[in-house]
Amino acid sequence: MAAFLSTLGSRLRSLFGAIGRGLASLPLRLLRALIAVVKMAAGRGRPEPHAVARARILLCMIVFCGVYLAIAGRLALYASAPEGSLARRSVASDAVASARPDILDRNGLVLATDVKSSSLFGEPKRIIDTDEAVEALTAVMPDLNVDELRQRLGSNRGFVWLKREITPQQQREIYNLGLPGIGFMTENRRVYPGGTLGAHVLGSTNTDNQGIAGIEKWIDTRGLAELHLAGFATDRQQEPVELAMDLRVQHVLRDELATAKEKFKAIAAAGTVVDVRTGEIVAMASLPDFDANDQAKSLDPKTLNRLTTGVFEMGSTFKALTFAMALDSGRFNINSMLDARAPLQFGKFRIHDYHAENRVLTVPEVFLVSSNIGTAKMALTLGVEAHKAFLAKAGQLTRLRTELPESAMPLVPRNWGELNTATIAFGHGLAVAPLQAVMAVNALMNGGYLIPPTFLKRTPEEARALATRIIKPDTSAKMRYLLRLNAEKGSASKMNEQAAGYYAGGKTGTAEKVVNGRYSKTKLLTTFTGVFPMDDPHYLVLVMLDEPQAVPGTYGFATAGWNAGPATGKIISRIAPLLGIMPRKGPPVESLLTNYTLAQAP
C-alpha cells in the first residue's frame, strides 16, 4: 500500500510539475501523468482495492475541476464583453451599424458625422412570456407593430432586431422592465447637421449605416465595406473625407434657387458653382431636394439630382461650344460674316431665329442675338465629322464619371446627319447631364484645358496633371470676350446688372421641352452660364429653371434672360466676397479681345 501511494504521489507530482515547466515539454509530460493515473484507476497492476478507489476519486476530481474551470472562463468572457457584442457575434447575418469617416467641407466644417445611439434587440429563445413582453414593450413604444413584434419574439431565432435607434428615455424605461431576452446594442447613426444643404452631393446611408447614394456610397466603394467586414474600420482609424464644397456658398446657391423657383413658378430648379481652374465643385443644389437625415427620401425619383442624373437639351448655352469649335478651326475669326437673312431648310424642317435680324451678321453679333441660323452655318461649314469629333473631345458624347455614383448617359443621335449637326449646334437634338456641359464651358474659360470635375478637394498641380487641351489659348480669350460682350450688350445684361462690379460674363439658353414626342412652345427649360471675373476667370455659375412662367416685370417673357440670368447675377454678387473676390471697376471690354495672353493654364 505504501509503495502504491508513493508511486501515485510521484505520478501526481509529475503531473503538476509539468504545468510549471516550459510550454514545449508540457503536453507530453501532462499526457504521460494522466495516462498513469487512468491506468491505476482502471486497476491495472493494483496492489489493493482501496488504492484503485482513491485513484478513481482523484480522476473524477481532475475532470470536474476542468469542467468548472471552463464554465468559469466562459462566465468571465460574458462579464467582460461589451453589452450586446456576444449577441452580435452569434448572428452574423444581422448587420450592425458600424463607424464611418466624417465628411468635411473645404473649410473643415462638418457635413456628416456619426453619433452613438442604442438599438433594441431580442433573443426569442430566452423570452419567458411572449405576450407579456409584447405588452410591456408596446406600452413604452406605441409605434411598434404588435403583430410583427409578437411574430419576431415568438420565433425560434437566437437574435432579432426590435427597433433601431431608440431614445435614451425609451432605453431607461425598457431597462427598468427587467424583461429577460431583451437587450440593447450601441450603434453608430449618421447625422447631417446641414439637413438639406448639399444633400444630393452627400447622399445618405441606410439603417445599417451603409452608403446608399452620393459621396456616402462612394466611400463604401473605396473599401470601407471591406474594412468593416475585417473589423478594422473603427472610429479612430478613419481619416475624414474633405470635399471641395464650401458650405457658405452652398447656402447662398440653394437660397437663391429656392427664391427663383418660387418667383417664376418653376416646377424645379438646379445650379452649381465650379472652380474653372481646378474643376472643383464648390456648391451644387437641385430642387426639390431632401433632408439627408431622412433616409427614405434620398432615393425618391422626385428629388433626383438634375445636374448629374438628368439629361437635358441645354439650348443656347451649347452655342458656346460651337463658337469655340469654329474659332479654333481657323475657318472663322471675330470679324467673319454670316448670312442670317433666310431660314435654313432641311426637307420639311426649317431652322429660324427667335429674334430674327434678317441680315448679314458678324460672329460677335451672331453670339449677341443668339442666332440659330448663324450658329448652324458655322457648324455645317466645318462638317458633321468635325462637329462630332469636337464634341467627343469636349466630353459630351460619353457618360460623365465623378465621385457620385449617380450619372446619366447622354442621348446621342443614332444616325447623325447634317440636320443633327445644325440643331445640336444651337443646343437641340443632343441631351447631356448639365454638369457635363459645365465641364466643357470651363475649358473655354480657363485657357483651353478640359479638367474632369470633382467633388473632392484638388490642388492646381493635381488639376494640371489631369487636364487635356481641347482649344488654343487664343480661342479661349476670344470666348471670354464674347461672354463678357454678351453681358454688356446682349441677353446676359440683366445678370450683369445684378453682378455689377464683378466683371461677369455669360450665355443664356432657352430650350423647348419635348412633350409626347414634340417640342412644346409653352414648356421651357431655361439655363444660364455665368463666369467671373472675365479677365481672370475663377468660377462658373450654372442656373437651371424647369418650366418657369412669365411673371409681372418680365413683360410676358419666360426665357432665360428674364429668369435664370438675374438669378445667376444675384448668386455671383453674394458668393464673390465669400470666395475672396471684391467688386471693382473692370477694364474696358476691348482689352479682352486685344490681350489674349490673359488665358493661362490652370
Q: Which sign, positive or negative, has the C-alpha torsion 506, 512, 514, 517? A: negative
The three-class DSSP label of residue 471 is coil
CB 543 within 8 A of CB 287: no
Cell 490681350: give the residue.
595
Tell me which of 204, 286, 316, 573 is the catalytic residue.
316
Q: Name the residue type at position 14.
A: S
Terminal alpha carbon distance of the chain: 100
What strand order describes the sheet that includes 268-275? 281-287, 268-275, 539-546, 518-532, 505-515
The answer to whether 249 touches 579, Cβ cutoff 8 Å, is yes
Residues in contact with 438: Cβ distance below 8 Å, sequence separation at least 6, in sequence order: 272, 274, 453, 529, 540, 542
Burial group, residue 172, by CB count within 10 angstroms (0-12, 13-18, 19+): exposed
Pairing verdict, β 268-275 and 281-287: antiparallel
152 touches 123 (CB < 8 A): no
Cβ contacts of residue 21 below 8 Å, gap of 6+?
29
φ, ψ dihedrals at 308, nearest 5°:
-125, -35
Cβ(409)–Cβ(240) under 8 Å? Answer: no
Instruction: Report helix angle 130-140 to 168-177, nearest 10.
Output: 150
The CA distances from residue 497 to 151, 443, 569, 573, in Å, are 66, 26, 7, 10
SS3 per-residue string spanning 196-240: CCCHHHHCEECCCCCEEEHHHHHHHHHHHHHHHHHCCCCHHHCCC
Considering only CA atoms, give the Rg of the chain.
Answer: 36
Kind plus residue range of the DSSP H or E element containing 103 = strand 103-104
Which helix (H) or strand (E) segment is 38 a member of?
helix 26-41
47, 258, 312, 526, 557 from 264: Cα distances, Å: 110, 10, 20, 11, 11
Q: What is the CA 469 to chain-centroid distance, rounded?
A: 28
Q: What are the distances in angstroms from CA 552 to CA 265, 509, 526, 559?
A: 12, 21, 18, 14
Q: Which amino acid is at 315?
A: G
User: Which of 68, 66, 44, 67 minimizes the C-alpha distance to 56?
Assistant: 44
Q: Crossing angle of helices 564-578/247-263, nearest 10°?
A: 160
CB 98 within 8 A of CB 225: no
Query: Does residue 93 carry a catalytic annotation?
Result: no
Q: Give the H/E segment covering residue 67.
A: helix 49-80
Q: Is the peptide bond preceding residue 288 cis, with omega within 30 degrees of 0?
A: yes
- Bridge partners, 411 (sequence order): 431
What's the CA gap between 399 and 163, in Å, rounded? 41
Q: Which residues are catalytic?
A: 316
